Structure 1
């Protein structure tokens, strides 16, 4: 209800302003967000291992923030971009099993643009919540095509989500996402649009089409990580190929804007979500993905808006993902009102040439128990070391003993920030998953808890399924918060080997504080049909020993389940098991009945 009231207020304010202004006052916005691409993974950064001419053109034709910082990993960066707030404030503390969820009462950048009359869409990796009201279609995006998990296990025509419906992709995922974005841009060319393209590469699995990999098949990188003995050349080859594919797709979108004569009317933004996902050339910086040092946090950042942002502008002003919401809303003349205070600030004056620097402020980075702080000149790291980044971007020389008062002050600020953020992470831990906040709810294996012999298909919960269900004593539970009481159709997505059919499945509600006793009538059905498809082909995966396994699953309706409003546990178990295994489980759908 809080989110609804806030959004309605935004709509009233923004549409009032829209009616008072001309269409030219509201530029289109296209945002590219790469996944696990380091600052050094572009030729414009000086990397001669690859060529990224289209992304480079954004730097040549627009502005470059030379010291732009994101988070150490994926979901936190997305949360900070979407809200303008440090990610622990938003409920996001990790990348899976619920820690990646953006609280429902946060107002997103898409909410602001949608309220201002923009057509809004996202195509790619969401990673901030699956179930309504956390799904992109409930966070300000009219259209969504992609996946909501933290990573996807296969990149060629995989199962995807299109506005909450299960669909099958068409070809290589990044090409597919770009195809949909181009269609969206063409369809909305006559009105302002906000198009978010969160690509999912070069994140693993390192699946690359032949067209892009052939150049790097036997390539020996001429530029390597500063600790070259750490570099996995096979990983580097695949990452470089994926980055060149990203560049090609960026070029396709830029060409579309030119063909539609929208170049001068469109703000184009490019950045990444964290440092590189392997040890490869990154300008000699310390750290990689998962680190709170420069190499784990510094991202490329380019913003092109011909005629409004000077061509080739470069600024050394420190900025970050938390600054994008206030910056883009200011550039687009959109009222930015929120009940929650922003941590970010607008750097629009830098882009417009109104100033060359902004007031000093600390920019914090936190991941798990590690925190670092960046000022305009220095980085204070998690171990209490102080580095002059202007003179020592590789963090080679600790100068804390030369500046004891500064080191003490930054240490105090860091500890205060860490205490505040960890308290928030504790408060938001163990939140139940939403059910009944939309007409249909998916509970994937990622969000479930296995009991007994049941195991995940992959170490990383994202995009895993449950397997090795060998006993009727085993079960799977999901802790949920039911937003609307009622009768729900229960559908389980399963596979079953020939000879194992005949198991009787049951999904039951267990109210809190009842020691696991079933409440109401459970939904029950027999597995009458074997369905045992092969794993998806992994021949385009260029790095061996991958732990990503994907296969198709078949829907089985278990019947109807009456759910009461409030928190409870849903338990899936087998009453009978005639074969060796029960089933493998991908997810459960709960469809609210009239």
Structure 2
């Protein structure tokens, strides 16, 4: 259907050549104004600020990302969470982590509250096609899957890396099994990053053919460990830097592959004449990988820490038609900005009315990106983990940083740094400037009083819902005691936990308790066999040795106040139960017991389905 203005103009008749030129010009103008920009967002996992050659890395050339840098507005003081799930939640909701619910990388605290609309939902409501290709890490069951949060097309994996605890058994960065919509999965051929970009380009091409504006979200799993990389790139980088470790070589090889794919994406956009009217955003989800000794642009610490190197990351934004980046519009914005700002910025740039939801914590940077205004002075707060006041926290005000890094100091004692004099945060000046620390702590305390009640609102996994009747729970979603390490599970760890669930409809439910995922075909008592990835040059600790068997003879299921038990045979793959569940919120726990009826470990996987 033609836009109303275009329809009116096309019905007009003119007799002169000048009028003909006028109407063509008017038509083209209206078409250009009516064409909403596409959005492509690339998020690289665990990429440190100094890991790009445009930021001074001495170890690798990233020519395609550098070209994006050279044609963008760069947010040079841009901050995210120190770990990945909270960054993703903040990015997609525009809300602080302590307000949206995703405050940690595992347990029920990695899931975003369902009453907080996400960016794809806002865009889809205004006619955008929306898709994700890559890492989700915000929940793997209803109502927390990508398709439940506004993504119409999805190709994804659930947790921190491909091959994590709740991912497909023995999954690899090469030829991975990836999730689609509504519980379906498919095995793909090739290297993971190539698959994500190739699939995204194919999907974008389809939308372009029908002139549908699109939002393409590309949250990559690289350069997050394990460092499983292409052998050719390993050899090339290893030959250039013979003193680097296997882990460092793998890290750089993964980044080199991602850089090539960024170039492939730009080639596609130019070839399809989408380049000028596509907003491209490039960022990382947290500081550089802590186990890799890398160039850090003079900043202290990396991933998981509250010093600058843990949460200050690259962010480049380009939109030629919107006068953002390109030619004379390339510039740096040094003011404090945060990942929560991107959602309101994008909706502002695209002139989209948001759907109802909580008030955003981020602000629109649209006018600042165009150079029309300055970013307002703000005090920004980064906080990670359990909802405890002023723990794992950084308060940012201009060049001042007040932080309490319990993980870094072991004590969580306040530290104050003046980045204008000490960018490496080597000297704690809290005793020299107590008034500054008090002012910043006062701002934090006021913020905490507002967000603290919301931190008590926990997201639940809904079972028995028509949108997903068969729900598979994993230990990665245990309440505050999550197990996401596949290494520990395979080694026979004796650990237990409970799930927060909400029963959608009362009825009779089939519940299966497993120690291993169903596709493994392993019995409850048995040990997992050894497994090695395709990349044989990876560090030794990133393979999987054979695990241990456990003396399990029985299973117990606890749902609310209901308890049932059954025996477990030598070859049983699962312990099966049927019971009536009332609707509403409750907790579920599965246990495996020994001959003395003592707990051995929890059920790491539980399947729940309503049968009548």
Question: What TM-score do you get using the length of structure 2 for normalisation?
Answer: 0.76
Contact 2:47-2:288 within 8 A present in 1 as well: yes
Structure 1 stretches lacking a partner, 5+ long: 1-14, 223-231, 451-455, 504-529
* Cα distance change of structure 1 residues 161 and 591 upon mapping to structure 2, 3 Å threshold: farther
**1:479–1:63: structure 2 CA closer, same or farther, 3 Å change rule?**
closer
Question: 1:302 aligns to what SS in structure 2?
Answer: strand
Secondary structure, aligned partner of 2:336: strand
Q: 1:447 to 1:409 in 2, by over 3 A?
A: same
Residues 146/113 of structure 1: CA separation in 2 closer, same or farther (3 Å cut): same
CA distance in 1, matches of 2:285, 2:81: 7
Decide which of 196, 217, 229 is 2:217's aligned counterpart. Answer: 196
Quote the offset at 1:465 in angstroms. Answer: 8.5
> In the comparison of the two structures, how many residue pairs are matched?
525
1:272 to 278, 284, 294: 284
SS at match of 1:374: strand
Report which of the two has the higher share of strand.
Answer: 1
Aligned ranges for residues 515-534 of structure 1 at < 5 Å? none
Change (3 A) 1:497 1:61: closer
Once the two structures are overlaid, the 10-residue window that deviates more, 60-69 or 478-487, is 478-487
1-structure distance, mates of 2:491, 2:223: 31
Within a 5 Å distance, the mapping from 1:119-268 to structure 2 comes to 119-153=129-163, 154-163=172-181, 164-189=183-208, 190-220=211-241, 233-268=245-280
Q: 1:101, CA displacement in angstroms?
A: 0.6
> Could you tell me how far apart the structure 2 residues matched to 1:53 and 1:295 are?
23
- For 2:57 and 2:492, the matched residues in 1 are separated by 49
CA deviation profile, 1:242-280 (whole Å, cap 9, x unmatched): 111111111121111111110011000000000001332
Call closer, same or farther: CA 1:393–1:482 in 2, change over 3 Å: same
1:21-170 matches, within 5 Å, as: 24-153=34-163, 154-163=172-181, 164-170=183-189
State the Cα deviation string for residues 51-108 of structure 1 (Å, max 9, x = none): 1111111111121111111110000000110111111111112111222011111111
Deviates more, 1:57-66 or 1:404-413: 404-413
1:287 maps to: 301
Give yes or no for contact 1:380–1:407 (8 Å, CA) kept in 2: yes
Is contact 1:81–1:322 with CA below 8 Å preserved after alignment?
yes
The residue number in structure 1 matching 2:518 is 494
Deviation at 1:588, TM superposition (A): 4.0
| Partner Cα distance (2:484, 2:41) in 1 | 28
Corresponding residue of 1:381: 403
Take 1:161 and 1:94, find their aligned partners in 2: how far apart are those partners? Answer: 23
Q: What secondary structure is seen at the aligned counterpart in 2 of 1:187?
A: helix
> How far off its partner does 1:483 sit?
1.4
User: How far apart in 2 are the matches of 1:120 and 1:534?
Assistant: 39
SS at match of 1:291: coil
Question: Per-residue deviation at 1:376?
Answer: 2.7
State which structure, 1 or 2, has the greater radius of gyration over its C-alpha atoms: 2
Separation of aligned partners in 2, 1:50 and 1:88: 36
- TM-score when normalising by structure 1: 0.78
Equivalent residues of 1:486, 1:564 under 8 A apart: yes
Flag the 1:462–1:484 CA change in 2: closer, same or farther, 3 A: farther
Once structures 1 and 2 are overlaid, which stretch shifts more, 403-412 or 139-148?
Answer: 403-412
Conserved? CA contact 1:130–1:148, under 8 Å:
yes
Deviations 1:422-441 (A, max 9, x none): 5543x135x54321232334
2:554 matched to which residue of 1?
none
Question: Following the alignment from structure 1 to structure 2, what is the Cα–Cα distance between the partners of residues 409 and 59?
Answer: 36
Tell me the distance in 2 between the aligned counterparts of 1:466 and 1:335. Answer: 46
Query: 1:28-47: per-residue Cα shift (whole Å, max 9, x none)?
Result: 00000111110111111011
Report the CA distance between 1:411 and its aligned residue. Answer: 2.4
CA distance in 1, matches of 2:7, 2:44: 35
Contact 2:237–2:249 under 8 Å retained in 1:
yes
Give a deviation string over 1:286-309, Cα, whole Å, max 9, x none: 111011111001110101111321
Q: Is the 8 A contact 1:446 1:464 kept in 2?
A: no
**Structure 2: runs of 5+ lacking an equivalent:** 9-29, 164-171, 386-390, 405-412, 548-571
Q: Which residue of 2 aligns with 1:461?
A: 484
Question: Which of 567-576 and 187-196 deviates more?
Answer: 567-576
CA distance in 1, matches of 2:123, 2:537: 38
Q: Is contact 1:92-1:100 (8 Å) kept?
A: yes
State the distance in 1 between where 2:102 and 2:234 align.
35
- Give the corresponding residue for 2:463: 435
1:317 to 326, 335, 338: 335
Secondary structure at 1:307's aligned position in 2? helix
**Superimposed CA distance per residue, residues 371-423 of structure 1 (whole angstroms, 9 cap, x where no aligned partner):** 11112332223244433324432123444455443332112223444565555
Separation in 1, partners of 2:66, 2:401: 27
